[in-house]
Each structure stands twice: as structure tokens, then as C-alpha cells.
Amino acid sequence: TQLLEQSPQFLSIQEGENLTVYCNSSSVFSSLQWYRQEPGEGPVLLVTVVTGGEVKKLKRLTFQFGDARKDSSLHITAAQPGDTGLYLCAENTGNQFYFGTGTSLTVIP
Amino acid sequence: NAGVTQTPKFQVLKTGQSMTLQCAQDMNHEYMSWYRQDPGMGLRLIHYSVGAGITDQGEVPNGYNVSRSTTEDFPLRLLSAAPSQTSVYFCASSYSGGSGYTFGSGTRLTVV
């Protein structure tokens, strides 16, 4: 089992602020995914990154995969209350997906 | 498309009872998995399947059984419920090993 560490564990910010959350591992990822989970719902896939150094943008969200493929970050610009949720990274090893413990984000109006 | 459908949404069991959590997907996905989510523990893999007739254990398989007789269905059986199995259970499916998962909305299980 590859241990995925996410930081920070909790984050509370005001609407309009920027933020970055991180996902790190001691081993190399084959690919990495980011999900957002809202209370009472299952996680929803945001993005998959595969190539070291890859950057993907999804509206105000920017995802980066580290050059060595051992870390990833999610940056949110001008956060909105609708961004509130649990952000999870997941790594695919063979036929299994392993998830980090997540970053719980609260955006205060 | 309904995506991934889990039933029931809520369940209370007494210690020692058995039950089956149902999961069905209509996307013709080969890969299906069961996770449990506990506070501070993230999502932990219980069992997974890479196709009909093929299942394997994940990180926390003890106390659970699965079968995959069809591509669409992947039920999770609790053999003899214990309070430690109180959790939120998620079923997920994926087209392939490298593509992302589609999750169901979860089953909240309480064992008393």
C-alpha cells in the first residue's frame, strides 16, 4: 500500500482568497487523480494527471503533477463557497486505487 | 444513465446480523470496488473486481465477502456485523485501471 499524505488536513478561508493543497508520496505515482466530495455524497472525479510536470486547469482550479511524479498540488483561485468540500487525491497501482485522507476545505462567504 | 446506484442509503444492524449492500452500474465498466470511509481514515479499499467472475481483496477485507456474477452488479456481504463495521460504504466503477472512478452516493451503516 502506497501512503498518500495530504496537507493541510483542514483549511478555512474567506471567499475570494487563493489556496493550495498538497498530495505527497514516498513512491512514484503511475497516475494521480483528484476528487471532490460534498457532504452526504460520493467523491466526484476532477482530473487525472499522468505525466511528470503536467499542469491541468479546470476553470479556477489548477492541478500540477510533480516532475518526479511523487507529489501533486491543487491550487484554487478566488475561492467560492461552492468550492467547499473534501478534496481527495488517489493513486492507481495496478488494479487498485489508494486514496489520501483528504483536505477539508471551508470557504466562508 | 443512472451511473452507480447503491442501496440502501441507510441501515442499522444489530451485532451478529448479516446483510448485503447492493451496487449496480449501467456504464458497462469492467472495474468495480467497494470502499469504506471513516473519519480521519480516508477511503479504504475493501474488495475490488476487474471483471465478471474476478474478485480480489483490498486493504481491509476481513468480515466482508463479494461476488461478481455480472458486469453490472457487485454486492458486498457483511457476514456477521460488528460495531467496528459502522461506516459509510461507497461503491465505485471505472472503465479501466487507469481511468477515474464514478462513485455511488454511499450507504451509511450503523452496527449497534
Mean pLDDT for B20-39 is 95
Which residues in chain A are contacts of B59 at CB distance < 8 A? 1, 98
C-alpha to C-alpha distance for B111 and B21, rounded to whole angstroms: 14
Interface of chain B toward chain A, CB-CB under 8 angstroms: 4, 31, 33, 35, 40-45, 48, 50, 56, 58-59, 90, 92, 94, 97-106
Q: Over chain A, what is the mean pLDDT?
A: 92
* Nearest chain B CA: its distance from A98 CA (Å): 7
Q: Are B68 and B74 in contact (CB under 8 A)?
A: yes
**Does residue A67 have a pLDDT over 80?**
yes
Torsion region of A38: left, alpha or beta (phi above 0 gives left; psi -120 to 50 gives alpha): beta
**Does residue A92 have a pLDDT over 60?**
yes
Output the pLDDT for position A50: 87
Inter-chain CB proximity A42 and B56 less than 8 Å: no
- Span B47-99, pLDDT tens digits: 999 999 999 999 999 999 999 999 999 999 999 999 999 999 999 999 887 77
Q: What is the DSSP string of A22-76?
A: EEEESS--S-EEEEEE-TTS--EEEEEE-STT-EEEETTEEEEE-TTSSEEEEEE
**Does residue A10 have a pLDDT over 80?**
yes
Output the pLDDT for position B87: 97
**Does residue A56 have a pLDDT over 70?**
yes
**Does residue A33 have a pLDDT over 90?**
yes
Output the pLDDT for position A17: 97
- Number of Cβ within 10 Å of residue B94's Cβ equals 23
Parallel/antiparallel/unpaired status of strands B64-66 and A85-93: unpaired
Output the pLDDT for position A16: 97
Output the pLDDT for position B4: 97
Using 50, 70 and 90 to split pLDDT, how confident is the model at B41? Answer: confident
% of chain B beyond a pLDDT of 70: 98
Out of A31, A42, A92, name the one closest to residue B103 (CB). A42
Torsion region of A68: left, alpha or beta (phi above 0 gives left; psi -120 to 50 gives alpha): alpha
| Residue linked to cell 510533480 | A66
Of the residues A29, A37, A95, A104, the best mutation for testing chain B's interface (the one with the most B CB atoms within 10 Å of its CB) is A95
Q: Are B89 and B72 in contact (CB under 8 A)?
A: no
Q: Does A41 touch chain B (CB under 8 A)?
A: yes
Using 50, 70 and 90 to split pLDDT, how confident is the model at B1? Answer: low
Of the residues B4, B43, B50, the best mutation for testing chain A's interface (the one with the most A CB atoms within 10 Å of its CB) is B43
C-alpha to C-alpha distance for A28 and A47, rounded to whole angstroms: 18
- Distant-in-sequence, close-in-space partners of B14: CB < 8 Å, separation ≥ 6: B81, B111, B112
Using 50, 70 and 90 to split pLDDT, how confident is the model at A30? Answer: confident
CB neighbour class for B78 (10 Å; exposed up to 12, middle 13-18, buried from 19): buried
Which residues in chain B are contacts of A94 at CB distance < 8 A? 97
Inter-chain CB proximity A99 and B43 less than 8 Å: yes
